[in-house]
């Protein structure tokens, strides 16, 4: 199971990176937008898990509050980043982009014609939307 998950994770990144490099101009302009999009989608998956835990009255992240500013938008952005995005920022950076590791991964995990990245991204967004709707209907 461990080897399959690793192959799936790296294979996903290889397909996404090669597709991004193919569709972008020369240089390494593709890195940051790709990193941000995939990290955000990964974070949404944790949001989905958190919402479903809250539906069943299991509040895992309730201990964390932020009072940086008097406004709530900045506070909510900081909380979202720390609670949901930071683990994936670190995870994706060190496993994929640190010291250009993706170059080695492209050689080790040759891409296939799978639509897995598109299916993963679409499913993650739809699951988050549906979970938000269900959570708002049940809790409000």
Eight-state DSSP code of residue 101: H
Predicted pLDDT at 76: 78
In tens digits, what is the pLDDT along the chain, a chain of 140 residues? Answer: 567 888 889 999 999 999 888 877 667 788 999 999 999 999 999 999 988 998 898 877 665 666 666 667 887 788 888 888 999 999 999 999 999 999 999 999 988 888 889 999 999 999 999 999 999 999 87
Predicted pLDDT at 124: 96
Q: State how far Cα 20 lies from the chain centre.
A: 16
Per the CB < 8 A criterion, the answer to whether 66 and 80 are in contact is: no
Predicted pLDDT at 64: 61
Q: What is the pTM of this model?
A: 0.82
Tokens found for residue 65:
């509050």
Predicted pLDDT at 27: 72
Tokens found for residue 37:
């999009």
Distances (CA, A) of 92 to 65, 108, 134: 25, 17, 30
Residue range(s) defining the domain that contains residue 85: 2-139
Number of domains in the chain: 1
Spatial separation of the C-alpha atoms in residues 127 and 140, rounded to whole Å: 19
Residue entry with tokens 């690793």 = 6
Predicted pLDDT at 44: 93
Tokens found for residue 85:
């995005």
């Amino acid at each position: 199971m461990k080897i399959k998950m690793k192959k799936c994770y790296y294979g996903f990144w290889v397909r996404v990176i090669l597709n991004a490099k193919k569709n972008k101009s020369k240089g390494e302009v593709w890195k940051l937008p790709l990193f941000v999009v995939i990290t955000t989608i990964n974070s949404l998956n944790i949001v989905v898990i958190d919402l479903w835990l809250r539906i069943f009255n299991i509040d895992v992240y309730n201990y964390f509050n932020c009072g940086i500013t008097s406004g709530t938008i900045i506070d909510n952005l900081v909380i979202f980043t720390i609670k949901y995005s930071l683990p994936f920022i670190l995870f994706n950076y060190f496993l994929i982009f640190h010291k250009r590791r993706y170059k080695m991964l492209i050689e080790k995990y040759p891409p296939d014609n799978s639509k897995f990245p598109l299916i993963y991204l679409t499913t993650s967004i739809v699951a988050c939307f549906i979970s938000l709707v269900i959570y708002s209907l049940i809790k409000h």
